[in-house]
Amino acid sequence: MTGRVEGKIALVTGGAMGLGRADCLRLAEEGARVIVTDIDFDRACAVAAEVGGEAFHHDVRSEERWAQIMSEVDARHGRLDILVNNAGNVIFESVEDCSAENFRLHMAIHVEGTFFGCKHALPLMKRSAAASIINMASSASLMGYGMIVAYSAAKGAIRSMTKSIAMHCQDSGYPIRCNVLMPGGIETPMVQAVSGRAGQEQPVPDGVLPKEALGAPRDVANAVLFLASDEARFLTGVEIPIDNGLFARPER
Instruction: Report how far residue 190's alpha carbon sits from residue 29's, in angstroms, rounded to the nearest whole number.
Output: 25
Topology of domain 9-242, CATH: Rossmann fold (3.40.50)
Boundaries of every domain in the chain: 9-242
Which residues belong to the active site? 151
pLDDT in tens, 196-226: 656 667 777 688 887 888 889 999 999 999 9
- Amino acid at residue number 99: S
| pLDDT number for residue 193 | 63
Buried b (16+ CB within 10 A) or exposed e, 98-125: beeebbebbbbbbbbbbbbbbebbbebb
Are 140 and 148 in contact by the 8 Å Cβ rule? The answer is: yes
Residue 185 pLDDT level (bands cut at 50, 70, 90) = confident
pTM above 0.75, yes or no: yes
CA distance 42 to 57: 9
The answer to whether the beta carbons of residues 91 and 102 sit under 8 Å apart is yes
Question: Which pLDDT tens digit goes with each residue over 28-84?
Answer: 999 999 999 999 999 999 999 999 999 999 999 999 999 999 999 999 999 999 999
Q: What is the DSSP letter of 186?
A: B
Residues 181-193 as b or e (16 or more Cβ within 10 Å = b): bbbbbbbbbbbbe
